[in-house]
């Protein structure tokens, strides 16, 4: 990895206890870098931050999808009832059951759902996997393509379609791929490429081709249903709500975050070198504030950009904050 | 913070997805640096990695303590029954109840204990706090000193005794302190100072003063009861077991790890700059292997030093590994 720069400081008392380094890029509709911290050429896995790209072939297939389904296809959800009920209904529409998934089971992040499973001595299903909406979309596309059941394999038509879409919107030939937590391939790109892809979504309203139309639908669905994209208490949900549906954002594992800002035709991509979510959330909030689309004083902003660190007795012991280079201009 | 160096790589497929930077120092009984990575002068909070230092005044007080109690005083435990039963018994011996604690409640990390609380719709108590053994020791010392109930406050005789012990064994005047997750003060020191302190413990067998005798007892108790210092599945417990009781090690929040190696009179201190536990565990295992006290092929070693990354279907997707500079010589 190319040299990252300091982006986030973690303070306890009057000592900086930790520092998070990384890279961040803001790109316009023509793919030009508007602002950058660290190295835009850093090669990364976008992980779940690129789910809206992976959903493009599904929308382009002409499948009938509600906005809720589109939001779930882009989601890393909490496995709450609002998510699993809708994904299960989607499965039933496809005449499939949980066994058709290839994402694997995951204990839900949602407290009510998790404690419900524990109290019932039940193991989580694959529908509880935070990626089950994306996988429902993969299954739907596989049916449409009349392709086989192993839709997660790299040479399956579904994944080949996802790769083609990924390479087009990032404007890069992906040099390699990794296997994600949900068993789907995740294609590598530069951080600049990921920001270009987000700018493709942000500027899609200006174009009339099928891919751009699909991008508009997905961007709109994410911003319309922020609670389906993540869940109560989560950064994606709370920050999208704070921006009143004008901006779509998406977290990814190992410190990735993306943002689509249609009103400014800007795309944003963030990668924390050490993979820390507390840092990627701080950086994306700081950049959205700098770009004038997120209120710095909103509680959801403060909770990420200037996150208090409290202890087991709720005593304030420290704070997470962006470096000066990320402060509002 | 001074400039850290790359210590741990996180790979997925054939791409390095993340990197963790930090500092590490190995010190001998005279306080000299035997080996170092990064900057030994980096100022850090040792967090829970210095609990054996915080227990010195308790042992020196002459209080009657079992080896199990000494191990618990040094522990960041899982809140399993083996921990909470013993700490509750200790409280009863002191004629105190859970209310006397000032550490705050914490949901246990131990699955059985945690799910038991959830199934019973019960909130965790302060005894479940991973630091409750340390706090039981604080309470016992406070009784011995006939001091007040607010034993966690910086000017309380218990904390003043802890600070004096800390400054003596680190051979530094601590420039500042932070409030820890358990509300106790945590004094800052250089990483070199923390390694000196561990070397003080490792070489204590060669001296006959009261503090050194207390250090020998604590080091011995930790290695004798590794399951009380952390818990099943945890790095401290499994790695101490793998070393057959010859080495005492202790994790701390925000990427700190310490080791006491009596047979070599060596102390080790590790700090990951971004605070990641997966990285501090990898580095301490690698250093213990380099020093010839940990078998590189032991499953507990492999699980930290070359940790596999698997996904929700248990498919191997990546690996955590130390940089070349940490490989065995």
- pLDDT attached to residue B31: 95
Given the DSSP bridges, would you call strands A248-252 and B5-12 parallel, antiparallel or unpaired? unpaired
Q: Which two tokens stand for residue B273?
A: 């700059």
- pLDDT attached to residue A329: 82
Q: Nearest CB to B182: which of A254, A311, A318?
A: A311
What is the arithmetic mean of pLDDT over A236-255?
98
Contact A106 B20 (CB under 8 A): no
**Distance between B77 CA and the closest CA of chain A, angstroms:** 15
Question: Residues of A with CB below 8 A from B273's CB?
Answer: 18-19
What is the arithmetic mean of pLDDT over B36-62?
98
Q: Which of A131, A179, A252 to mutate to test the interface with B (most CBs of B within 10 A)?
A: A179
Residues 6+ apart with CB under 8 A from A312: B103, B104, B105, B106, B129, B181, B182, B183
Question: Residues of B with CB below 8 A from A313's CB?
Answer: 102-104, 183
B146 SS3 class? coil
Interface A-B, measured as beta-carbon pairs within 8 A, has a size of 131
Condensed to tens digits (0 to 9), the pLDDT of residues A111-140 reads 999 999 999 999 999 999 999 999 999 999
Q: Nearest CB to B274: which of A20, A181, A312?
A: A20
Q: Give the DSSP H/E element, type plus range, for residue B18.
A: strand B15-28
Contact A276 B279 (CB under 8 A): no
- pLDDT attached to residue B176: 98
CA dist A66 → A73, A217, A220, A222, B99 (Å): 11, 10, 12, 12, 53
Q: What distance in Å separates the CA atoms of residue A95 and residue A100, rounded to the nearest whole number? A: 10
Query: Which of A249, A256, A203 is CA-nearest to residue A226?
Result: A249
Nearest residue of chain B to residue A310 (CA atoms): B181
Q: What distance in Å separates the CA atoms of residue A321 and residue A306, rounded to the nearest whole number? A: 5
Q: Which of A274, A280, A308 to mutate to test the interface with B (most CBs of B within 10 A)?
A: A274
What is the arithmetic mean of pLDDT over B179-192?
98
Question: Residues of A with CB below 8 A from B5's CB?
Answer: none
Residues 6+ apart with CB under 8 A from A284: A235, A239, A249, A257, A259, A268, A270, A304
At which residue do the structure tokens 């931050």 appear? A49
Nearest residue of chain B to residue A174 (CA atoms): B15
Query: Which of B245, B320, B312 is CA-nearest to residue B285?
Result: B320
Query: Which of A190, A174, A322 is CA-nearest to residue A269?
Result: A190
**Distance between A104 CA and the closest CA of chain B, angstroms:** 5
Percent with pLDDT over 90 in chain B: 98
Condensed to tens digits (0 to 9), the pLDDT of residues A10-60 reads 999 999 999 999 999 999 999 999 999 999 999 999 999 999 999 999 999
Q: What distance in Å separates the CA atoms of residue B49 and residue B169, rounded to the nearest whole number? A: 14
B1 has a pLDDT exceeding 60: no
- pLDDT attached to residue B2: 67
Query: Which of A154, A107, A162, A166 is CA-nearest to residue A138?
Result: A162
- pLDDT attached to residue A95: 98
Contact B106 A312 (CB under 8 A): yes
What is the arithmetic mean of pLDDT over B134-148?
98
pTM for the model stands at 0.98
Q: How many CB atoms lie within 10 A of CB A227?
A: 20
At which residue do the structure tokens 């996150």 appear? A307
What is the arithmetic mean of pLDDT over B169-184?
98
Contact B275 A18 (CB under 8 A): yes
Q: Which two tokens stand for residue B181?
A: 């997750």
Q: What distance in Å separates the CA atoms of residue A125 and residue A79, rounded to the nearest whole number? A: 10
At which residue do the structure tokens 């959205």 appear? A288
Cα A301-A307-A309 angle, rounded to 5 deg: 160
A1 has a pLDDT exceeding 90: no
**Distance between B183 CA and the closest CA of chain A, angstroms:** 7
**Distance between A5 CA and the closest CA of chain B, angstroms:** 12
Question: Residues of B with CB below 8 A from A318's CB?
Answer: 178
Percent with pLDDT over 70 in chain A: 99
Residue B134 and residue B73 in contact, taking contact as beta carbons nearer than 8 Å: yes
Contact B104 A180 (CB under 8 A): no
Q: Is A49 exposed, middle or buried (0-12, 13-18, 19+ CB in 10 A)?
A: buried
Residue A27 and residue A194 in contact, taking contact as beta carbons nearer than 8 Å: no
- pLDDT attached to residue B198: 98
Q: Nearest CB to B15: which of A105, A182, A188?
A: A188
Q: Give the DSSP H/E element, type plus range, for residue B88.
A: helix B81-93
Contact A317 B179 (CB under 8 A): yes
Q: Give the DSSP H/E element, type plus range, for residue B43.
A: strand B43-44
Contact B16 A1 (CB under 8 A): yes
Q: What distance in Å separates the CA atoms of residue B72 and residue B89, rounded to the nearest whole number? A: 12
Condensed to tens digits (0 to 9), the pLDDT of residues B82-91 reads 999 999 999 9
Contact A312 B181 (CB under 8 A): yes
B224 SS3 class? helix
What is the arithmetic mean of pLDDT over B182-201?
98
Condensed to tens digits (0 to 9), the pLDDT of residues A158-193 reads 999 999 999 999 999 999 999 999 999 999 999 999
What was the ipTM of the complex prediction?
0.97
The C-alpha torsion from A108 through B313 and B297 to B251, rounded to 10°, is -10
Contact B273 A182 (CB under 8 A): no
Q: Is B139 exposed, middle or buried (0-12, 13-18, 19+ CB in 10 A)?
A: buried
Confidence bin at A282 (pLDDT 50/70/90): very high
Contact A178 B275 (CB under 8 A): no
Contact A104 B312 (CB under 8 A): yes
Q: What distance in Å separates the CA atoms of residue A84 and residue A105, rounded to the nearest whole number? A: 12
A2 has a pLDDT exceeding 70: no
What's the mean pLDDT when you consider all of chain A?
A: 97
Q: What distance in Å separates the CA atoms of residue B127 and residue B83, rounded to the nearest whole number? A: 9
Residue A63 and residue A230 in contact, taking contact as beta carbons nearer than 8 Å: no
Nearest residue of chain B to residue A46 (CA atoms): B17
Q: Nearest CB to A315: which of B106, B183, B279?
A: B183
- pLDDT attached to residue A261: 98
Condensed to tens digits (0 to 9), the pLDDT of residues B237-265 reads 999 999 999 999 999 999 999 999 999 99
Please, what are the domains in chain A? 5-326 (3.40.710)
Contact A312 B103 (CB under 8 A): yes
Condensed to tens digits (0 to 9), the pLDDT of residues B284-326 reads 999 999 999 999 999 999 999 999 999 999 999 999 999 999 9
DSSP string, B175-219: --EEE-TTS-EEE-EEHHHHHHHHHHHHTGGG--SHHHHHHHHHH
- pLDDT attached to residue B329: 82
Query: Which of A90, A74, A80 is CA-nearest to residue A134?
Result: A74
Nearest residue of chain B to residue A315 (CA atoms): B183
Find how far residue A293's CA is from the centre of its chain. 18
Question: Residues of B with CB below 8 A from A79's CB?
Answer: none
Q: Which two tokens stand for residue A281?
A: 């959330």
Contact A105 B312 (CB under 8 A): yes
B122 has a pLDDT exceeding 90: yes
Q: Which of B8, B283, B313 to mutate to test the interface with A (most CBs of A within 10 A)?
A: B313
- pLDDT attached to residue B102: 98
A155 has a pLDDT exceeding 60: yes
Question: Residues of B with CB below 8 A from A43's CB?
Answer: 15
Please report, in angstroms and rounded to a whole number, the separation of the first and last CA atoms in chain B: 29
Question: Residues of A with CB below 8 A from B14's CB?
Answer: 176
Please report, in angstroms and rounded to a whole number, the separation of the first and last CA atoms in chain A: 29
Q: Which of B9, B18, B130, B315 to mutate to test the interface with A (most CBs of A within 10 A)?
A: B18
3-state secondary structure chain A: CCCCEEEEEEEECCEEEEEEEEEEEEEECCCCEEEEECCCCCEECCHHHHHHHHCHHHHHCCCCCCHHHHHHHCCCCCCCHHHHHHHHHHHHHCCCCHHHCCCCCCCCCCHHHHHHHHHCCCCCCHHHCCCHHHHHHHHHHHHHCCCCCCCCCCCCHHHHHHHHHHHHHHCCCCCCEEECCCCCEEECEEHHHHHHHHHHHHCHHHCCCHHHHHHHHHHHHHHHCHHHHCCCCCHHHHHHHHCCCCCEEEEECCCEEEEEEHHHCEEEEEEECCCCHHHHHHHHHHHHHHCCCCCCCCHHHHHHHCCEEECCCCCEEEEEEECHHHCCC
Query: Residue B296 — left, alpha, or beta (φ > 0 → left; ψ -120 to 50 → alpha)?
Result: alpha
Question: Residues of B with CB below 8 A from A182's CB?
Answer: 311-312
Q: What distance in Å separates the CA atoms of residue A152 and residue A183, rounded to the nearest whole number? A: 7
Contact A181 B311 (CB under 8 A): yes
Q: What distance in Å separates the CA atoms of residue A127 and residue A106, rounded to the nearest whole number? A: 8
Condensed to tens digits (0 to 9), the pLDDT of residues A290-306 reads 999 999 999 999 999 99
Residue A261 and residue A293 in contact, taking contact as beta carbons nearer than 8 Å: yes
């Amino acid at each position: 990895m190319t040299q990252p720069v300091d982006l986030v400081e973690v303070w306890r008392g009057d000592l900086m206890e930790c520092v998070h380094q990384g890279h961040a890029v803001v790109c316009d509709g023509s793919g030009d870098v508007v602002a950058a911290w660290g190295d835009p050429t850093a090669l990364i896995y976008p992980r779940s931050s690129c789910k809206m790209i992976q959903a493009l072939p599904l929308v382009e297939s002409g499948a009938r999808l509600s906005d809720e389904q589109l939001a779930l296809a882009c989601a890393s959800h909490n496995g709450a009832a609002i998510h699993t009920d809708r994904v299960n209904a989607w499965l039933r529409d496809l005449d499939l059951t949980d066994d058709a998934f290839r994402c694997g089971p995951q204990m839900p992040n949602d407290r009510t759902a998790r404690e419900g499973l524990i109290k019932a001595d039940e193991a989580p299903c694959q529908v509880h996997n935070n990626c089950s909406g994306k996988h429902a979309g993969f299954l739907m596309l596989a049916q449409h393509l009349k392709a086989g059941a192993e839709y997660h394999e790299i040479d399956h038509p579904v994944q080949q379609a996802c790769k083609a879409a990924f390479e087009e919107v990032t404007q890069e030939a992906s040099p390699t791929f990794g296997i994600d937590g949900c068993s789907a391939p995740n294609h590598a790109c530069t951080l600049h490429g990921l920001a270009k892809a987000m700018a493709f979504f942000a500027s899609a309203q200006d174009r009339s081709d099928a891919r751009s139309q699909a991008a508009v639908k997905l961007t709109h669905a994410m911003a319309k249903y922020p609670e389906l994209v993540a869940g109560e208490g989560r950064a994606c949900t709370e920050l999208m709500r704070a921006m009143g549906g004008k901006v779509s954002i998406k977290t990814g594992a190992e410190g990735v975050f993306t943002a689509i800002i249609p009103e400014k035709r800007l795309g944003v991509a963030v990668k924390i070198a050490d993979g820390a979510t507390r840092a990627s959330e701080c950086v994306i909030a700081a950049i959205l504030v700098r770009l004038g689309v997120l209120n710095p004083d909103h509680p959801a902003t403060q909770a990420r950009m200037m996150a208090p660190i409290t202890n087991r007795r709720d005593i304030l012991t420290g704070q997470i904050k962006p470096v000066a280079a990320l402060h509002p201009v």
